Amino acid sequence: MGDTSTISGRSEPREFLDPSSLGLAAAAVAIRAGHITSEAYTAALLLRARTLAELNAFITIDETAVLAAARDADKARAAGSAALLLGVPLGVKDSYLTKGLPTSLGLDSLARFVPREDADAVRAIKGAGALVFGKNNLVEMSYGLTGHNERYGQVKNPHARDRVAGGSSSGSAASVAAGLVPASLGGDTVGSIRVPASFCGVVGFKPTTGRWPRNGVAPISHTLDTTGAFARSVEDCILLDQVVTGEQTAEFSDDGNDLRGVRLAFAPRQFLDLVDSEVEIRFREAVRQLRDAGAEVIEVDLGDDFNALIQTATWDIFAHETMGAISDFLRRHDVPTTFEAIYDGLKPQLRQAWGHIVLPGGAGAVSAEAYQTALNVSRPEIRRRLDKAFVAEGAQIILQPTTPCPAPLIEEQATVRVAGQDVSYLALANHTVSASSVGLPGISLPVGRSRAGLPLGLELDASVGSDRTLLVLARKIERVLGTASTAI
C-alpha cells in the first residue's frame, strides 16, 4: 500500500492523504517531520487546482517552477533545514511583485510583465522556506469588492459557483476556501481581505496599517493600504504574522477557551442598521455564545453621524491618493506602463469610475481641501469615537458582522440587495471601512451559514498596534464558536 504517515495522531497512507485537509501550520509540521514531502504535497495541490480551474482563483501557476522549488525544499530538509514554512506552497495576490513570475496587477497589458524583485512580504515568506504556488486573480488594480476581472475571468465562490467571491483579493480567498493552497497573501484598503474572507468562509487578517511591509505591492492609498493574509484558522494567521514581521510567538500563549475577563463591545445602531435579518440573527447568537463563555459584551453608541463620517472620510482619502500612489509605484519598480496607459485600458465600468473620482478633473474628484479635512479633522474624530469603546469602556475588541449580507449573485453584483433594499456594491464594505479609516487591525472569522448555505463572517477589530491581543482573542473566539474553516 505504500508508506504510512501520522498527522494529528492519525495514521494514513502517504499517497492517500488529502492535501486540502491541511492548514498552513499542519502542512509545515508534516513536511518538517517528514510525514509528507513538499513535492508530493505540491503535486497534489496542483492536481486540485487543475480540477477546480473553473473558479478562476489563479492567473498564473508555473507548475514546473513550483515543483522544482518543492524538490529543493525536500533537499533542504534532508540537509537539516527546519525553516518555519519549509516547502509549503502559498498563494500570492497578483498585485505583489514576484521575481521571475508574471505580475499582472489584474491588467491585460501587464500579462507578461516579470518583475526583477519580490515584494517585501513575498521575500519574507520565501525566507521562511515557503513556495509561491501561483498568483491569485483579483479585481483590476484592486479596485472593487466582488471579484470581477474582465481579462482573467470572474472569480467564483467555492460554496456556490453563481455567487461572487468578494474582492479585491478574490482569488486569494477562493483558493484557500477551495483547498488549493493552505494560505494566501492579500491586500486590504477598505475591506479587500475581510469582505472575500466573509463571503468564502475563511479567516482574513488585516494587520494594523504599516505592521506588515507594503513595499512591492501595487497600491491604492498610502494612508489606507495594508498587506495581510487568508488562512483556514487564526493559528495559521499567527504563524504568518510571525514570519512576515519577524516577531516571536512567545506572547501568543493562551489559556484555552476561557473568555472570563475579556471585554468586548458592539455598536448596534451603527453596525446593525443595514444588514440582512439572518446576518443580524447569527451575529446576536455569536454574541450570546461569547457571553456564555465568560466574556463581558457591552453595547456602545458611536454617534448618529458615525457611518457617514467614516464613509466620507475613507472614500475621499481612497480616491484622492490613487493616482499619485500608482504613478509612484510604477516609477519605483520599473513597471513597463504608465498611469495614463492603465486608465486607457481599464474595463468600461472601472474607467468611468476613475474618470469620475480619481482623475483630478473628474466631476466627483476630491478637492485638496476635502482631502485635508478627511486626514486632519475626520480621522482624529473617528479615533476619538472608537476610543469611547477601547479606552473609556475598556473594550479589547469591537465586534460586528463583516458584511451586511452573504455573497451576492454574480449576475447581480453591481447593485446588491441588503435588508430588502437595492444598494451599490460599495455597501459590501460598510462595516470593514471603519477599521480601515484609522488603520485598526481587523480579522474576519467564519461564523456559520445563511439559510442558503452561504458563509457569514464575524469581524473583530482592535486598537492600533494591538495585533497580538487581537490574534490571541480571535483564536479563543474561534474555538468558542467552533467555526474554524475547512476546505470545500
Say if strands 442-449 and 455-461 run parallel, antiparallel, or are unpaired.
antiparallel
Mean pLDDT for the stretch of residues 407-428? 96
User: Comparing C-alpha atoms, which of 400, 467, 28 is closest to residue 228?
Assistant: 467
- Cell 502559498 sits at which residue? 90
Task: Determine, yes or no, domain membership for 389.
Answer: yes
175 is a catalytic site residue: no
Is pLDDT of 112 > 80?
A: yes
CATH of the domain at 190: 3.90.1300.10
Bond before 192 cis per omega within 30 degrees: no
Active-site residue (options: 5, 93, 156, 198): 93
Cβ atoms of 201 and 458 closer than 8 Å: no
Digit-coded pLDDT (tens) for 143-174: 999 999 999 999 999 999 999 999 999 999 99
Task: Determine, yes or no, domain membership for 344.
Answer: no
Is pLDDT of 7 > 50?
A: no
Cβ atoms of 461 and 434 closer than 8 Å: yes
Angle at 207 between CA 192 and CA 131, to 5 degrees: 80
Digit-coded pLDDT (tens) for 451-463: 999 999 999 999 9
Mean pLDDT for the stretch of residues 172-197? 98
CA-to-CA distance for 297 and 265, rounded, in angstroms? 5
On average, the pLDDT of the chain sits at 94
Task: Determine, yes or no, domain membership for 352.
Answer: no
Mean pLDDT for the stretch of residues 391-405? 98
Cβ atoms of 345 and 109 closer than 8 Å: yes
Digit-coded pLDDT (tens) for 422-438: 999 999 999 999 999 99
> In total, how many domains does the chain have?
1
The model's confidence at residue 12, banded by pLDDT at 50, 70 and 90, is very low
Task: Determine, yes or no, domain membership for 440.
Answer: yes
CA-to-CA distance for 371 and 364, rounded, in angstroms? 13
21 is a catalytic site residue: no
Is pLDDT of 14 > 70?
A: no
**384 grid coordinates:** 476619538
168 is a catalytic site residue: yes
Q: What is the H or E stretch that residue 231 is in?
A: strand 226-231
Q: Collapsing DSSP states into helix, strand and coil, what is residue 32?
A: helix
The model's confidence at residue 258, banded by pLDDT at 50, 70 and 90, is confident
- Give the per-residue pLDDT at 15: 45
Could you tell me how far CA 224 lies from the centroid of its own chain?
14
Domain residues for the domain of 423 are 18-305+376-481
% of the chain beyond a pLDDT of 90: 92
Task: Determine, yes or no, domain membership for 310.
Answer: no
**443 grid coordinates:** 480579522
- Give the per-residue pLDDT at 225: 98
Task: Determine, yes or no, domain membership for 237.
Answer: yes
Task: Determine, yes or no, domain membership for 392.
Answer: yes
Digit-coded pLDDT (tens) for 56-101: 999 999 999 999 999 999 999 999 999 999 999 999 999 999 999 9
Digit-coded pLDDT (tens) for 267-319: 999 999 999 999 999 999 999 999 999 999 999 999 999 999 999 999 999 99
- Give the per-residue pLDDT at 4: 30
- Give the per-residue pLDDT at 20: 83
C-alpha torsion 461→462→463→465, nearest 10 = -110
The model's confidence at residue 3, banded by pLDDT at 50, 70 and 90, is very low
% of the chain beyond a pLDDT of 70: 94
The model's confidence at residue 249, banded by pLDDT at 50, 70 and 90, is low
Got the DSSP string for 235-297? HHHHHHHHHHH---SGGG---TT--TT-EEEE-HHHHSSS--HHHHHHHHHHHHHHHHTT-EE
Task: Determine, yes or no, domain membership for 98.
Answer: yes
Active-site residue (options: 168, 175, 378, 436): 168
Q: Indicate the burial class of 260 (C-beta count within 10 angstroms; 0-12, 13-18, 19 or more).
A: exposed
Active-site residue (options: 192, 434, 437, 485): 192
Alpha carbon distances (Å) from 126 to 71, 80, 303:
15, 17, 45
- Give the per-residue pLDDT at 254: 58
- Give the per-residue pLDDT at 216: 98
Cβ atoms of 236 and 24 closer than 8 Å: yes
Q: Indicate the burial class of 66 (C-beta count within 10 angstroms; 0-12, 13-18, 19 or more).
A: buried
